[in-house]
A and B are shown apart, each in its own frame.
Chain A
Amino acid sequence: MLFTSYSFVLLVAATTLLYYVLPRKAQWPLLLVASGVFYWFAGPSFLIHLTVTSVTTWFAALRIGGIGGRLATALAAGKESLDKEGRKALKAKAKSAQRVWMLAALLLNFGILAVVKYANFAIVNVNAALAAFGSAEKLSFLTIALPMGISFYTFKTMAYLIDVYRGKFPAERNVFRLALFASFFPQLVQGPISRFDDLSKSLFEEHRFDRRVVLSGLQRVLWGFFKKLVVADRILPAVAAIVKNPDQYDGAFVLVGMLFYAVQLYADFTGGIDITIGISEMLGIRVAENFNAPFLARSITDYWRRWHITMGTWFRDYIFYPMSVSGPMLKLSRWGREKLGEGFGRRLTVYLTTLVTWFATGIWHGSSWNFVAWGLANGLAIIVSQECEPLYARFHRRFPWKGKPAYAAFEVVRTFLLMSCLRMFDTYRDVPLTFRMFGSMFARFDLARVFDGSLLKLGLSVADYGVLAAALVLLVASRVAKDRAGDFRSRLAERPAALRTALTFVLLLLILVFGAYGIGYDAKQFIYNQF
């Protein structure tokens, strides 16, 4: 069920209506049912995966919590009889038992993810390796469908499990509540990757109907649809034309494609997240923000603090930090400091952890080498940027421009272009082709070719470009207004109901008329659905 399908709109409308009509204690069970319906449309068999993940995570977390509880009881009972060593031994034994449960659940669930998402990628590479060594043997591909949103719900549930193991919060006792956390339908397919302690309170508490809240949520939903249908899906044919015909559209067209794809991906992904957050808001549920004006980032690290924030923090909290303080890394760090010097030796482990984290980030986005290359390229860019820090510092000492508007603008443009270049691995989906097209951008750059009427052969008419331009102006203006005077919706909430309603209706009308949808349009899934 696509977010842009009529059935999804009907599901949301019916769920919202029932949510406030039924007794309040039925609210979260209703959401579980709605999530089940949503997932059923994707493929009834996928519900099995989701159920296995929910139940095994719930059970493992409950066992971990139980061990923790028994440990606390034992420690309390033996408060006087146990010495320090005895207490330590008890704790170690309990931790070890907890670790077994955690690892078992992690292995099982990441194992499922690995098999359904990466098995065929592995087979492709094994077959290529066998062929390279002259073997005629070939492994057969597995015929497994990729369950919708598996990367997202696996990450959510595994974060929950690890947090219970770390003692951040107690295990959830009700399996259905955990199932709802895993499957909450607005965020099932593209995030944000919410944390249990972040989401659970508002997810399970009872909500009274508040028309201001519902209207505000609806405005955010419509804003999301505006971005998706008026911007992302309208520019999509041009991106597809450029990317699918690299021989025809090389040189300056690569730059055009790069910029168009940046717009498409931004509008598509942030639009989807707006819809998710807006629906949640209509239901009184607070979902973590996932973006903070990423195209205004002034450095690559700044960018990744603003783009897909919940994914970035997930990799930071569950891969980067644990790996940084793991035994082997500490040993490597010691070795590095002894052999390579204090500074670089210390940085070596950080860089290695950075590369591993970005490798994981890349492969999480897709089971193909272009995503691996994209992830590693991001990691390398961050490392190079960090290695150049002394150079930057010297530059800024000599030219004290930092903080000045013109230099800030330069930093924003530089970061945008750098990230757009890295995104080419995602755009072209082929590593050698990406390098070839990147090269052609410089070798055959001829801007006149772009403006000789070719732009109108990319599947967009003058009217389409007009709508796109107007929509982009609206997007930028809304951001500028937010920075200057605060969130537009919050300010609108203070205005008379007639104005609020009228503006919401105008937004709906703009989407209905200028959106790219229905027969005649090749409306695509949200790009992030596939992850």
Chain B
Amino acid sequence: MKRFRVLSFLVAAAVLMAGTLWLVQRLVEPKYDTGIVEGNLTAAYYQETTGHDVVFIGDCEVYETFSPIALWREYGIASYVRGTAQQLMWQSYAMLEDTLRHETPMVVVLGVIAMKYDQPQKEAYNRMTLDGMRWSKAKLDGIRASMLPEENLLDYMFPLLRYHSRWSSLTAADVRYLFSRPRQFHNGYYMRVDVKAATDFPPGKKLADYRFGSNAYAYLDRIAALCEEKGITLVLNRAPLLYPYWYPEWDAQMVQYAKDHGLQYYNFLAERDAIGLDFSTDTYDGGLHLNLAGVEKLSLRMGSILRDACGVPDRRSDPALAAVYAEKGAFYDAMARKQRDEIARYGHVLGYGPLQQGDAG
């Protein structure tokens, strides 16, 4: 009897302590509700209730480049963007592995600009990419491959150890989004409607060595192998953005890689006139990223490739899926309207987060 009491006490104490620690951890974790919202991109995927035929994987050159809602509306393609800020090749591999735990798409579209990085870059980006991922071997491997020398695996396992110092900068949003994050994205697409015309970019600096690094290639190989193993068509692409500079030597390597591995590779930068992109109106930050107008133009082109070259079917006749996308489309339109209204009223977008306070999803 005494042993039972002791055991009960220990279990109750452990549960209470773990619960308190979890709650405190949730409180101090960044909510990414305003300003930098990219930190919520990874976790948003798990809110999905339907599968996808196409999954885009990469960095900002996918999540601010392709619009799954536009793809649905024009081609009936069910797609999702699994991209985060400065998502490196090993993180894209982890993202693909994580995606395959939930679904097996027909096509994976991979942004290749991250090939220019061969080593981990910045802790903040690592956290934004990996914190939101559900725990699995894929996440663990992704963390191990991404950590900088000053980082520690335990900080990822117990984010309280990393974010505890936020106690002094907590806001009402930290309480509001304690249990659920705001709805900010459109199947992984981060919408911006504002316009900032591109001006001149300096030409690319001469590099000592134009070859992509072996680590980046190793993970590209693993992505290609995994797609082949799962019967997924892998499409490589370079977004039509003016910066960072895409060297011809880099392009040649991707062309060669695609040829060697029987993959499709599209350098949309070379097609930007055919796509109809106008960098005086289709970018929100002077050519680094596309705004909604630019994204929808590019999505049209991408949709035709997916339909014609990859055989991705039109799902609009599926009533359940159509209903889901109708709701998503309404949210998409509402956010675009809200941003345009704010620009008209204030000259700039007030925030890229939820439509209104408390809009959690």
Contacts and interface: CB of A to CB of B under 8 A. Distances in A.
Asked if A pairs with B, the answer is yes
Interface string B11-41: 0010001001100100010000000000000
Interface string A433-470: 00000000000000000000000000001011000000
B252 interface: no
Contacts of B21: 509, 512
Interface stretch (B68-76, B90-98, B148-156): B148-156
A77 interface: no
Interface in A478-527: 497-498, 501, 505, 509, 512-521
Interface in A46-90: none
Contacts of B249: none
B168 A518 contact: no
B123 A505 contact: no
B164 A518 contact: yes
B24 A513 contact: yes
Contacts of A512: 21, 24, 160-161, 164
A6 interface: yes
Nearest to B127: A519
Interface string B265-298: 0000000000000000000000000000000000
B123 A519 contact: yes
B165 interface: yes
B338 interface: no
Nearest to A516: B165
Contacts of B154: 6
A518 B17 contact: no
A512 B17 CA distance: 13
Interface residues of B, number: 20
Contacts of B46: none
B162 interface: yes
A513 B167 contact: yes
B168 A461 contact: yes
A6 B165 CA distance: 17
Contacts, number: 44
B9 interface: yes
Interface in B221-247: none
B110 to A, nearest CB: 30
A419 to B, nearest CB: 32
Contact of A519 (B17, B20, B24, B155): B155
A516 B167 CA distance: 12
Interface of A is mostly: helix
A514 B152 contact: no
A391 B150 CA distance: 58
Nearest to A497: B9
A511 B17 CA distance: 14
Nearest to B163: A518
Interface in B319-355: none
A515 B152 CA distance: 17
B9 A515 contact: no
Interface in B180-225: none
Given A509-B21, A513-B24, A513-B28, A520 B9 contact: no
A501 B13 contact: yes
Contacts of B165: 516, 518, 520-521
Nearest to B153: A6
A509 B164 CA distance: 10
Contacts of A519: 123, 150-151, 155, 162
Given A497-B9, A505-B17, A519-B123, A6 B164 contact: no
Given A463-B168, A505-B20, A509-B21, 9 more contacts: A497-B9, A501-B13, A509-B24, A512-B164, A513-B28, A513-B164, A517-B161, A518-B164, A519-B123
Interface of B: 9, 13, 17, 20-21, 24, 28, 123, 150-152, 154-155, 160-162, 164-165, 167-168
26 contacts: A461-B168, A463-B167, A464-B168, A497-B9, A498-B9, A505-B17, A509-B20, A509-B21, A512-B160, A512-B161, A513-B24, A513-B28, A513-B160, A513-B164, A514-B164, A515-B164, A518-B162, A518-B164, A518-B165, A519-B123, A519-B150, A519-B151, A519-B155, A519-B162, A520-B165, A521-B165
Q: Which 6 A-B pairs have the closest CB atoms?
A: A463-B168, A513-B164, A6-B154, A505-B17, A501-B13, A513-B167
